[in-house]
Structure 1
Amino acid sequence: MKEDFLHYIWKFKKFDTLNLKTSNGEEITIVNVGQYLELAGPDFFNAQIVIGDQKWAGNVEIHLKSSDWYMHHHERDAAYENVILHVVWEHDTEIYRSNNTEIPVLELKKQVDSVTIADYLSLITPKSWIFCEKQLKNIDDFTLKNWQERLFFERLERKSKPIYELLQQTNNDWEAVLFCLLAKNFGLNTNGEIFLKIAQSIPFSIIRKESFEIENLEALLLGNTGLLDSVKEDIYFKDLKFRYFYLLHKYQLENRIIEPVQFFKHRPDNFPTIRLSQLANLYYSQKNLFSKISTSGPVQNIYEAFDVSASNYWQNHYQFDKESPKKKKKLSKSFIDLIIINTIIPLQFAYAKSQGKEISEDLIQLLNEVAPEKNAIMDKFSSFGIKSKNAFETQSLLQLKNEYCNKSRCLECGIGMELLKKS
């Protein structure tokens, strides 16, 4: 038995509400269970309850045992002085306020039917992957869609936090924030944090000034990874190295090797040399990129803005001094989709919020036009009957799995709640 189950029982009155009595035998009538706060302090705020002949308005605290009141030191906390009813699964001791008045106790153990308990235990019993995997196919589309929308915006709220942190670090320069976010996403999981540090190590004002010469942009990005610090005979390498140290002197930058980038286990098209060249070419070809992607519009506009390739040198190279068969290394549609999902949508959300604008429907519509993500989590959901048609749905399911299923938050989940209601 867990406390969140008791919260669910109380919130939805999943117990015999007739003939309720306190531990001292006084009759209880519930007028209003109160508002479930999920914050510090009592669990339910502003409840209305009749105890005996007296109607009370105040807070309700819920515990597994009455003695938990003292284990949690509520007797020392003024926030609990206005508790009018202590709801517990098992009553094992009397509870008193600081003025020595006794707090009425309602024991639920004998008020909840065995079917409700069995359904709850069935839901939270570990399965092969998630608790409700055998029941997922029974969820109606209306419930699923509404819950997915809530999950999607929860995920955006989480993703927007580092955006606001970057905004503070860049003196509210949204273009600089976009540059940092794109750098992180161009680095993917392996090099993402390193690419972010590289972007942060170069003032964006310099990126703006040097965006008219692609070689200078490449020199700055590759140089700050340490990839230009060795000695090679390659002419292009020597040119970039000369430019890099010239730019260091020109802008009085420190020659900092943040940490080595990773080539290992990457497909060649994801090598850091290729991704950094593509990032440089993006800022060479697209001036004022933030203004072009900060507001909602057709997804095709984004695909066109990100229609860039690595520089000519990299068409037949993946690393310096090592020639390879010629191949035009453009950003693929699937890679741009990742940029839309992980950079553009969160940035649009954060920017609109900072401007006091509501663009929820626009964001959903945009991701409805983006192909669903392919990964092991989506494959599992699909095997249990939840198939995603677009990136909006896959993002929602990732939030569901990571923040609810993995943390056993079934009684805070729209699907878990609906399954218990049906049963």
Structure 2
Amino acid sequence: MKEDFLHYVWQFKKFDTLNLKTVQGEDIVVVNTGQYLQLAGPDFFNAQLTIGSQKWAGNVEIHIKSSDWYLHTHETDNSYDNVILHVVWEHDTEVFRKDNTEIPVLELKHYVSAETLNNYNNLAVAKSWIYCEKELAHVDAFMFSNWKECLFFERLERKALPILELAKTTGNDWEAVLFSFLAKSFGLNTNGEIFYRVAQSLPFSIIRREGFEFENLEALFFGRVGLLEENHEDLYFKDLKSRYDYICHKYRLDKVYVDPVQFFKHRPDNFPTIRLSQLAQLYHKHQNLFSKLTEGVSVEEIYNIFNIQASPYWQTHYTFDKVSTKKRKSLTTSFVDLLIVNTIVPFRFAYERSIGKEDPEKLIAMLQAIKPEKNAIIDKFSQFNVEVNSAFDTQSLLQLKNEYCANKRCLQCAVGLELLKK
């Protein structure tokens, strides 16, 4: 038995409401169960009850056992002074207010039907992956569609938070914010934080001014991650090093590098040299990238914007001094899809919220136009016959698994509540 089940039972009145009595023998009439806050303090706020002949308005606290009141030290917390009813599964001790009056107790186990308990036990039995894995594909389609939309925006809200925080610290310099988060995405998991710090170390005004020469941008990016600290024979390396020295002098930048980048365990096309060159090409080719990505752009238009490749030197190199077979090294569609899912859509959501012009349907449509992501979690959902058609579906399902299934939050999940009803 878990408290969240008791919260569910109380909130939705899944018990015999006609014959309630406190353990002290007084009749209880539940007029309003109260507001389920899920915050610090009592579980339900501003409930309305009649106990015996007395009408009460106040808070309701729920525990597995009455003694949990003392286990959680509520007797010393003033926020519990207004509790009018203690709802428990098992009553094992009396609980008193500070004035020594006893708090009425409702022992729920006498009023919950065997069917409700059976549904809960069936849901809470451990399966091979998640509790509802066998039933998930058969829940009401309309309900599940609405729930996926809620999950999608929960995930989007979380992704938007650091974007909004950076916007606040930069005085709403949204071009700089976009640059920082695009840089992070170009760095992928291994170098993402390093690329992000590179972007933070460079005033965006310098990117704007130097963007007319991609070699200058490459010099800036390579210099900030220490790739110009070593000695190489390539003329291109020497040119970049010279440019970096000059730019640092010109803008009075400290000639320090953020952190060394990682090459280990990367496919060559994901080497930081290639990704930084592509990022430089992006900002060389699109001087007004911010406006292009925020003015109602479609997925196809985004693909065109990100139709870029590494600079000529890097088409025959992966590292300095070592020539390789010539390859264009363009951004792949799958990489651009990752940018759309993890950076562009969250960025647009955050920016539109900041200016009061949210268009959630357009963001959903963008992800519905992108192929589903491929990972172990999505593969598992597919194995249990859950339909996955787009990146919108995969983002919703990732939120479901990571925030609800993994934390056993079945009773805060629309699927779990639907299955309990059955």
Same fold (TM over 0.5): yes
CA distance in 2, matches of 1:399, 1:121: 24
Instruction: Indicate yes or no: 2:309 matched with 1:301.
Output: no
Structure 1, residues 171-197: CA drift from partner, whole Å, max 9, x if none? 321000000000000011111111111
Structure 1, residues 244-288: CA drift from partner, whole Å, max 9, x if none? 111111112122222221111111111111100000000001112
Instruction: Give the structure 2 partner of residue 146 of structure 1.
Output: 146
1:24 partner letter: Q
SS where residue 403 of structure 1 aligns? helix
Task: Check whether the contact 1:341–1:391 (CA below 8 A) recurs between aligned residues.
Answer: yes
Instruction: Give the structure 1 partner of residue 194 of structure 2.
Output: 194
Instruction: Give the structure 2 partner of residue 221 of structure 1.
Output: 221
Name whichever of 298-307 and 272-281 sits farther off: 298-307
Instruction: Give the structure 1 partner of residue 351 of structure 2.
Output: 351
Instruction: Give the structure 2 partner of residue 395 of structure 1.
Output: 395
1:77 partner letter: D
Task: Check whether the contact 1:223–1:241 (CA below 8 A) recurs between aligned residues.
Answer: yes
1:125 partner letter: V
Instruction: Indicate yes or no: 2:226 matched with 1:208.
Output: no
Instruction: Give the structure 2 partner of residue 133 of structure 1.
Output: 133
SS where residue 63 of structure 2 aligns? strand
CA distance in 1, matches of 2:294, 2:171: 18
Aligned-pair CA distance for 1:363: 1.0
Task: Check whether the contact 1:296–1:348 (CA below 8 A) recurs between aligned residues.
Answer: no
Aligned-pair CA distance for 1:170: 2.3
Task: Check whether the contact 1:220–1:244 (CA below 8 A) recurs between aligned residues.
Answer: yes
Aligned-pair CA distance for 1:102: 1.9
Alignment of 1:219-298 (within 5 A): 219-298=219-298
CA distance in 2, matches of 1:293, 1:391: 19
CA distance in 1, matches of 2:8, 2:290: 45
CA distance in 2, matches of 1:17, 1:389: 44
SS where residue 109 of structure 2 aligns? coil
2:396 partner letter: S
SS where residue 57 of structure 2 aligns? strand
1:332 partner letter: T
Superposed structure 1 runs of 4+ greater than 4 Å apart: none
Name whichever of 111-120 and 270-279 sits farther off: 111-120
Task: Check whether the contact 1:315–1:327 (CA below 8 A) recurs between aligned residues.
Answer: yes
Name whichever of 277-286 and 366-375 sits farther off: 366-375
1:216 partner letter: N
CA distance in 1, matches of 2:294, 2:401: 29
Structure 1, residues 21-75: CA drift from partner, whole Å, max 9, x if none? 0011001111221111111221112222121122222211111111212222222
Structure 1, residues 123-158: CA drift from partner, whole Å, max 9, x if none? 222222111111112212111111111111111111
Instruction: Give the structure 1 partner of residue 97 of structure 2.
Output: 97
Structure 1, residues 377-413: CA drift from partner, whole Å, max 9, x if none? 1110000011211111110111111111111111111
2:77 partner letter: D
Structure 1, residues 347-368: CA drift from partner, whole Å, max 9, x if none? 1111111112231111111111
Aligned residues: 422
Task: Check whether the contact 1:296–1:363 (CA below 8 A) recurs between aligned residues.
Answer: no
CA distance in 2, matches of 1:407, 1:323: 50
Structure 1, residues 302-344: CA drift from partner, whole Å, max 9, x if none? 1121111111111111111111111111111111111111111
CA distance in 2, matches of 1:379, 1:184: 26
TM-score by length of structure 1 reads 0.97
1:130 partner letter: I
Unaligned runs of 5+ in 1: none
2:316 partner letter: N
Task: Check whether the contact 1:211–1:283 (CA below 8 A) recurs between aligned residues.
Answer: yes
CA distance in 2, matches of 1:295, 1:53: 64
Name whichever of 73-82 and 397-406 sits farther off: 73-82
1:199 partner letter: A
1:292 partner letter: K
CA distance in 2, matches of 1:171, 1:13: 49
SS where residue 109 of structure 1 aligns? helix
CA distance in 1, matches of 2:69, 2:355: 44
CA distance in 2, matches of 1:27, 1:358: 50
Give percent identity, aligned residues only.
66
Structure 1, residues 185-219: CA drift from partner, whole Å, max 9, x if none? 00111111111111111111111110011000000
Instruction: Give the structure 2 partner of residue 171 of structure 1.
Output: 171
Alignment of 1:48-67 (within 5 A): 48-67=48-67
SS where residue 59 of structure 1 aligns? strand
Structure 1, residues 66-98: CA drift from partner, whole Å, max 9, x if none? 121222222222322222211011111122222
Structure 1, residues 217-249: CA drift from partner, whole Å, max 9, x if none? 000001111111111111111111111111111
1:383 partner letter: Q
2:102 partner letter: E
SS where residue 110 of structure 2 aligns? coil
CA RMSD of aligned residues (A): 1.3
Name whichever of 339-348 and 74-83 sits farther off: 74-83
SS where residue 64 of structure 1 aligns? strand
Instruction: Give the structure 2 partner of residue 376 of structure 1.
Output: 376
SS where residue 20 of structure 1 aligns? coil
Instruction: Give the structure 1 partner of residue 34 of structure 2.
Output: 34
Task: Check whether the contact 1:295–1:348 (CA below 8 A) recurs between aligned residues.
Answer: no
CA distance in 1, matches of 2:276, 2:309: 11
Name whichever of 393-402 and 74-83 sits farther off: 74-83
2:246 partner letter: Y
Instruction: Give the structure 1 partner of residue 9 of structure 2.
Output: 9
